[in-house]
Amino acid sequence: MSKIPPLILSTTVLLVGIGCATVSTPVLVPITPPSSTQPQVNSLPEKWFKRKIAVARFTNETRYGRSLLTDGDLDPLGKQASDMLYNRLIKSGQFLVFERPDLERVKREQRLTGQENLVGVDTLVVGSVTEFGRSTGGKVGFLSATKNQVARAKVEVRLIDVKTGLAFFTATGMGEANTETGSIAGYGSRSEYDATLNDRAIGAAISDVMNDIVNKINERPWRTDILKTDGNKIYISGGHRQGLKIGDKLAIFKEGERVKSNQSGFEITLPSTQIGLVRVINLFGDSEISEGSICEIIEGNINQQDNLYVSEVKQP
């Protein structure tokens, strides 16, 4: 029986090894994914009321992306994180999202068209990228080598009540993205610097913090104003795009007196008083910012009263 020459045997083993070499594809891995019991951003309840929200500032507080050639206004990482947060807030379908970082551009266009009508918001979101880093690792064997690139990001956000300026909630989001390449005896993928990992890690961190933002804002009472009173009917802002439908009942409240506290220095609004109840009988408007509802008063009297607003009926 003839023996296989050592050179041919070694070459065969090497070719088989090369054929078996695999390279994993880039993956996006949030460090703290939401649990199955945590409410998801995309799942809307049967009825919801959209709050008005704006992202006031989102900055890069890390050393990444900074150089002597950039000034304080040039913050690509912060602007990228801000845009990602804007997009996710809009796609959630739960908010009326207003522009703030590019407010001067909006004002300039409004002056050109002669239609200046800026709308105030209920909540401002302020945040920053507080941690960002990359690492490269891998393993080297007799004939094989792997290289792993990892990007990690951390964002911090605060929610601010526009009426008082009080920061009433903070949240942290963390994200990670990695890619791996491998080779055997010089054959296989070569790993270059993958800049898209930065974007994926920041996107994962923003997604991680979104549920906390949505849930906290939705905990705050929804309210809207009375546009007009006409006998036994009232017209209010908000329609079917905010979950209202014909037959819904809403409460009319009289705003409590505002009193300044000597202890805290804040103006404190005393508890509101429910003075009536209305039922939605019709809806009008063709967009989120122009729609409204016509309601009939079924309980109470609102004649000659001011500082009124409409809110959800409080459940006992």
3-state secondary structure of 109: helix
- Under the banding of pLDDT at 50, 70 and 90, the label for residue 243 is confident
Q: Residue 46 region, left (φ>0) first, then alpha (ψ -120 to 50), else beta?
A: alpha
End of a domain among 219, 242, 258? 219
> What would the pLDDT profile of 147-199 be if each residue is shown by its tens digit?
788 999 999 999 988 877 788 999 999 999 988 766 565 555 555 667 788 88
| Stated pTM of the model | 0.67
User: Rounded to 5 degrees, what angle do the CA atoms 45, 173, 175 make?
Assistant: 110
Q: In this model, does residue 29 exceed pLDDT 80?
A: no
107 lies in the same domain as 211 = yes
Residue 84 forms part of a structural domain? yes
Amino acid found at 209 = V
Domain span at residue 241 reads: 223-311
**Per-residue pLDDT, 59:** 85
Specify whether the CB–CB gap between 287 and 242 falls below 8 A: no
Q: Of 44, 162, 143, 49, which is closest to residue 100 (Cα–Cα)?
A: 162
CATH of the domain at 227: 2.40.10.410
For 189, the token pair is: 């993928």
124 lies in the same domain as 271 = no
92 lies in the same domain as 139 = yes
Number of domains composing the chain: 2
Residue 185 forms part of a structural domain? yes
230 lies in the same domain as 143 = no
278 lies in the same domain as 162 = no
161 lies in the same domain as 264 = no
